[in-house]
Structure 1
């Protein structure tokens, strides 16, 4: 937590009203891999956008979109935070859960309940935020308080309209060419928790299966940039 708070300050940043483009270490995974975020744009802007590329290690397509955003340019009128990989151990092992076998999207406090047992694909962990990865994401959300947050998953090929800002969801779905459909809200989900903390800001985008072609990566990144106003 100290690393996040120190890096989020003005040290190494920009003068008031200026832009930033910096990498922040949010914490480390179960196996010690760094969990990093890139902040770019205007850190003083009222509009704060969060993008998370990979929550489940076997659903990595959003990482390419996150990397494209992190490469810049930063938005002039928004503070953009990009977390390419929240679950680096799972991505390295190509598993849904983290190195403890916990489904991070069942490990957040809102509506949390014990689901399944260790070894299950949807194991919710021993307690809310029991995992270093979900705890790091929760610290970031509480610190930044995003006005819009997009959490990428796979493989349903849909923008989830079950929660979050409906106007942003409709625009994003139109811009990327995905249908808009309400999905099940599961206990302990990241977006369900975020929406109880900062209001209806967060929603899920379920990408198609497989690796995104370069043109699709550009399309999704451009859709996020339009949300930031850049």
Structure 2
């Protein structure tokens, strides 16, 4: 990395709950350096703002929190903006050669309510063709007016994703979206792949084996697929789980690093150095993780067999302006081939005591007929 990450991390914004109100002070501060503009209004009348940076010919458009409860990339975007005003050699070079337009929160109503959908209950990433929602219209107008050379579609993914068949979490995943049902490789999609290869090479230095490739099934209603159809190289970023990092403060760092590397490659005109075929060397995402697995539990019913495990997945809930992670029992039985971000084995006394000392976990198990 070109400088100490902690020097540019935006420490005033952290955790999982990030709204337009949280960004007000930051945007006011950076307005001294970059242009802040209201691009339109959400369903509930909240401003959808953009930040314009740089004066170069290469145009990059990026948007975050299209899904209101996916805030990790928003935090990383703020870190990126801090880097670009740091007056380093690389930041000056990027701003000279590139123009960036960043929408930090496309779905401010969903961000406020901590929901995937907007205030009308519509998934904006399934509204690219019909454009029924004001937020969708705002993004399309920005796209048409700005005429980007590249697009970054910034998201979060759930903790259940792992890399390939390994017990490694997909801390970061990428996708070069398809532009047709055959998922053919056009020049545009090929460029997206090359950018991903460049980012993956960088991230492997820091999180080896923790980068995955997102499913590339074609859906013209998705924004990334649509922009790829419009011949703009588009990259989907997915922020995932880093061990023990449910607030995704570690993951934001790797998203920042990935974005910066992609922008650096674009600004230097070195995309051609990366092989498209290497994109397919990145393992597919898989869904083999649970948040908690408890092995060798007392089986509540004979149908589960004699040697079972319990799988628990956290549900994110907004409570008094904070995100709480509440367990939900997802599966009981043979969980061979599945992994837990946290694993307990009831045959081990220490693990059993740890379980018994967690009231919420005990209540969940007891309510499902599992008693120790």
Question: What TM bracket, shorter-length normalisation?
Answer: 0.7 to 0.9
Structure 1: 5+ residue stretches without partners? 1-19, 110-127
Aligned residue in 2 for 1:194 = 227
How many residues in Structure 1 have an aligned counterpart in Structure 2?
Answer: 190
- Greater strand proportion: 2
Largest Rg, 1 or 2: 2
**TM-score normalised by L of structure 1:** 0.75
Q: Render the CA deviation track for 1:162-207: whole Å, top value 9, x for unaligned.
A: 443221121123223423454323331111121223x141121111
Aligned residue in 1 for 2:257 = 219
CA contact (8 A) 1:24 1:37 kept: yes
Aligned residue in 2 for 1:168 = 195
Aligned residue in 1 for 2:98 = 78
1:37 aligns with 2:50: yes
Give distance in 2, aligned partners of 1:60 and 1:144: 24
- Specify the SS of the correspondent of 1:23: strand
Give distance in 1, aligned partners of 2:125 and 2:176: 17
Aligned residue in 1 for 2:41 = 28
- Identify if the C-alpha distance between structure 1 residues 158 and 69 changes in structure 2 by more than 3 Å, giving closer, same or farther: same
- Specify the SS of the correspondent of 1:97: coil
**TM-score normalised by L of structure 2:** 0.48
CA contact (8 A) 2:61 2:150 kept: yes
Most deviating of 218-227 and 94-103: 218-227
1:205 aligns with 2:242: no
Give distance in 2, aligned partners of 1:173 and 1:161: 13
Q: Of the candidates 128, 142, 145, which is equivalent to residue 144 of structure 2? A: 142
Aligned residue in 1 for 2:77 = 66
- Specify the SS of the correspondent of 1:76: helix
Aligned residue in 2 for 1:50 = 61
Q: Render the CA deviation track for 1:25-84: whole Å, top value 9, x for unaligned.
A: 110111111101100001xx3310112121111211110111122333362101111111
Q: Render the CA deviation track for 1:117-148: whole Å, top value 9, x for unaligned.
A: xxxxxxxxxxx111111110000111112111
Higher RCO structure, 1 or 2 (CA under 8 Å, sep 6+): 1
Aligned residue in 1 for 2:174 = 159
- Specify the SS of the correspondent of 1:81: strand
What displacement does 1:212 show?
3.1
Structure 2: 5+ residue stretches without partners? 1-32, 86-90, 162-171, 179-188, 205-210, 269-372
CA contact (8 A) 1:58 1:95 kept: yes
- Specify the SS of the correspondent of 1:229: helix
- Identify if the C-alpha distance between structure 1 residues 138 and 102 changes in structure 2 by more than 3 Å, giving closer, same or farther: same
